[in-house]
Structure 1
Amino acid sequence: MKTDTIDFTVDHLAETHEVLNQSRPLVDYNSYLGDSALREGVVRYGAAWAVDALTDHGDRCGSAEVIHWGFLANENRPQFHSHDRQGYRVDEVRYHDAYHRLMHLGLQSGLHSDPWTRPGEGAHVARAARYYLQAQVESGHGCPLTMTFAAVPTLRLTPQIADTWLAGVLACDYQPDNIPYSQKSALTIGMGMTEKQGGSDVRANTTRARALGSGGPGGDYELVGHKWFTSAPMCDAFLVLAQAEGGLSCFLVPRWRPDGSKNPMQVQRLKNKMGNVANASSEIELRGALGWMVGDEGRGVPAIIEMVAMTRFDCMIGSAAGQRQAVAQAVNHAAGREAFGRRLLDQPLMRNVLADLQLEVEGSLALMLRMGAALDSSLSAAGNEHDRLLLRLGLPTGKYWICKRTPTVTYEAMECLGGNGVIEDFILARLYRDAPINAIWEGSGNVQALDMLRALARSPDVLDAWYAEIDAARGQHVLLDSAVERLKSALRDTDALEYRARSLVDQLALTMQSALLLQTSTPDIADAFIRSRLDSRGDRNFGTLPCNSAVDTLLRRADPHIAD
């Protein structure tokens, strides 16, 4: 019986399929030029002079190389080494080279220094825009950048400390070497306030400070105690709160003593965090550590508040940046992916979701940049009183609202990518893990809401400034006018203010964002924001915009590849 010979030699058996219908990675784009809302805000608030530098920074931050640094810095977590190989205590945290590259980029770009070394119109706005661009790459390294930037007003409270430290703090360079500060030309500053038993209640701190001489501002003290959260423990010095004889006071504690010996500020362990993992957060013990008093004895909280105000502003910037990156990723995916015979970006319900997400970015950016402009004018030689009062409400309100909204925005954007959204190879998973951090750092939601109430109680003028800012848009939209009246009525009612504090800060934020968009954006974007945020429907999910909203305009502004 004859049988045919079957040839099983087929040269394509090892092949599976060709990759089709996948979006291209969002790399090698200019994150400044592709952000219409940012570009408009930079010019609007007096920083047009910085456009060339911002364009260069946007090109760098959008490059595949720098974006890859962000992934590497998160995949290779910091490692703590308490002792060297000979057994000497070193308290060293070692980072991946990608983290150091990101730090160098930020410090070289003046993210920690420019408004202090080159003050003037738009200085804080320009710096906020650069920070916003870099935070879209990776958020963890922003912590030491922020603390170094924010420490400057506090360090200036005591001239002898400022004379020793500010030149290095303001230097646009990065020296991560684990060596005494006296041997370095570029320095970074951290902060240690939180203790186990107190949390946000820093007046419950038990760390003690004993004067080694006459004491007082700039004097030497010995500190003994613990700190439950000390972020970026490889900074060169830390602003720390401790109980002195005259009450809770602020101290600058270096990692090395002036004689080059190790200061006994010992790291106990690093925190195992769900997000912000490129940045090391630690528990430390002060075992007779040297510190110098900053500001007056017993005035530690007012001294550290000089720093906290700036860190809260950076929380707003970082969270707004997280929103922008999440939406840009979602739009990029929707433009390159088809389902049911059409691009996702062409499907009505997806367009509704993406446009709604972009509205959130527009509102966050408007509020953040307006507070940047207020910093510029209030800190100028003339000292604009209106903007100073505006900041007193605007910083806790903006920090609360923008940071609270970011986890929801990143979740919705992650869902737009489907299964890819939860895979660590894609940036959305990291953005989602990082999103809650700013809402908790520098005072959680309740702390911000109560701070808002304290501001109202101590100075009713802050509310007059808030209303005056909103009044510039009076009569332009009936829903906003009605929302402002509801806000005023709610604030006149003094019953159960603490219980209602979150509701009040919600209304403060939404009415201000609406007013700013009416004054600063295209009318159809402002209308879509107001109709979707200030109506009476209550809580809503993204993707529920009213019909006839400016969807086409919003999607064009959300697309990171389009420069209007």
Structure 2
Amino acid sequence: MPTAELLLDGLPAYRLSEEGRGVASIANMLTITRIHNSVSAAAAMRRVVQLARDYATRRTAFGKLLKDHPLHMQTLARMEVETRAAFLLVMDVCRLLGREESGLASQLDVHLLRLLTPVVKLYTGKQAVAVVSEGLESFGGQGYIEDTGLPGILRDAQVLSIWEGTTNVLSLDVLRCVARSSGMVLHAYFTHIKALLAGASGVSSLAPPVKAVGDALSELEQFVQIAASRSPSYLELAARDLGYSLACIYAGALLIDHASWKDASSHDKHAALRWCEQELCLVASKQKRGCYDSSTASLDAALVFDQLIQD
């Protein structure tokens, strides 16, 4: 995905769409580039995890290898779970795109692709920066030295949350997607996840993560019902947390589905368990704490600009 700074001096220009309809005219291209961005994010995460894992078998600290320090292994395991989740999210969106391009997509597939493209891009872009940063930290001072090549991985990862739509822009795109489909994209989302969970219901070892994702999905449904009666500003304040929640719940369902396959390993099951230990529906818990109430926006602005806040 090349980018450049161009100086266009005296160059003729031709309008390609109606004024104000520029983004709409390139919407199909944005689907492809956002998916490319998500692939790059998953790849960056996998690269740094592989490097950190290898380093843990060679570097000695406090009299033993890093791989023999439980806390370090816990950190790498969390990075591994994030990487697996990102990979499954990306590959599922690629599956949906392939079905659409080959004319095999159902209406559910089309709705899912429209919703998940911005969701997966915004989530993996952010997680790539977090995981790669954690990866550099696992090398200690070596992670900051240019000659190792590691700082370049972090700099490259930083752009993933910026181009093809920043996190906030994509979060608002999710809201537009939901509004314009009259809720059909969310219906497709809920239907597909419930189907994935049902497919894993017979695996006893996956009962805890199945329950965790099912509970989070119910919380998300309740949020949607409550938010439908609120003002547009309420939803806008919740947009980023909604995007994260959609991604976390969907990733959990994919990890569970993957772990339920006949040839799944114990590692696959453990990854699903570890993923579902976190809070999966952030938007619901913040809603309960009143984080999106009408006063929030003005209080946030006052905080940022150091303005007087009236009690």
Same fold (TM over 0.5): yes
- Tell me which of 484, 498, 517 is aligned to 2:236: 498
Structure 2: unaligned runs, 5 residues or longer: 202-206, 260-267, 286-311
1:492, distance to aligned residue in structure 2 (A): 1.5
Aligned equivalent of 2:197: 473
- What one-letter code is carried by the residue in structure 2 that aligns with 1:467? F
1:209-224 residue pairs with structure 2 within 5 A? none
1:30-429 correspondence to structure 2 within 5 Å: 143-144=1-2, 231=3, 281-285=4-8, 287-289=10-12, 291=14, 297=18, 299-429=21-151
Task: State the Cα deviation string for residues 324-368 of structure 1 (Å, max 9, x = none).
Answer: 111111111111111122110121111101111000000000000
Larger RCO (alpha carbons 8 Å, 6+ apart):
2
Instruction: Determine if contact 1:410/1:428 at 8 Å carries over to the other structure.
Output: no
Gaps of 5+ in 1: 1-142, 145-230, 232-280, 539-564
Distance apart, 1:395 and its partner CA: 0.7
Q: Is the 8 A contact 2:249 2:281 kept in 1?
A: no
Pair 1:510 & 2:248 matched: yes
Report the Cα offset of residue 535 of structure 1.
8.9
TM-score by length of structure 1 reads 0.44
Residue correspondences, number = 259
The answer as to whether partners of 2:220 and 2:281 remain within 8 angstroms in 1 is no
In the alignment, which residue of structure 1 is the partner of 2:263?
none
Question: Match of 1:509, as an amino acid?
Answer: A
- Give the residue type in structure 2 aligned to 1:504: L
Amino acid at match of 1:353: T
TM-superposed deviation, 1:283: 3.2
Q: In 2, are the aligned partners of 1:308 and 1:442 still within 8 Å (CA)?
A: yes
Cα distance in 2 for partners of 1:484, 1:386 equals 18
Counterpart position of 2:272: 526
Could you give the per-residue CA deviations for residues 87-132 of structure 1, whole angstroms, max 9, x where no partner exists? xxxxxxxxxxxxxxxxxxxxxxxxxxxxxxxxxxxxxxxxxxxxxx
- Runs of 4 or more, structure 1, over 4 Å off, are 296-299
Structure 1: distance between partners of 2:11 and 2:73: 60
Q: Which amino acid aligns with 1:418?
A: G
- Cα pair 1:514 1:530 within 8 Å, conserved: yes
Q: Which amino acid aligns with 2:82?
A: E
Pairwise CA distance, 1:286: 5.1
Contact 1:479 1:535 in 2 (8 A): no
The residue aligned with 1:442 is: 164
Per-residue deviation, residues 482-524 of structure 1 (Å, max 9, x unmatched): 1111111112222311011111111100000000010013322
Deviations 1:199-242 (A, max 9, x none): xxxxxxxxxxxxxxxxxxxxxxxxxxxxxxxx2xxxxxxxxxxx
Percent identical pairs in the alignment equals: 31
Greater CA deviation, 303-312 or 511-520? 303-312
Q: Deviations over 1:31-86 (max 9, x none)?
A: xxxxxxxxxxxxxxxxxxxxxxxxxxxxxxxxxxxxxxxxxxxxxxxxxxxxxxxx
Question: Quick one: distance in 1 between partners of 2:279 and 2:50?
Answer: 22
Q: So what's the TM-score if we normalise by structure 2?
A: 0.78
Deviation at 1:413, TM superposition (A): 0.7
1:450-461 alignment, distance < 5 Å: 450-459=172-181, 460-461=183-184
More strand by share: 1
Instruction: Compare CA radii of gyration and give the structure with the larger one.
Output: 1
- 2:298 is aligned to none
What is the CA RMSD across the aligned residues, in angstroms?
Answer: 2.1
Query: 1:319 and 1:493 mapped to 2: Cα distance?
Result: 33
SS at match of 1:493: helix
More helix per residue: 2
Q: Distance in 2 between matches of 1:336 and 1:510?
A: 34
Matched residue type, 1:492? Q
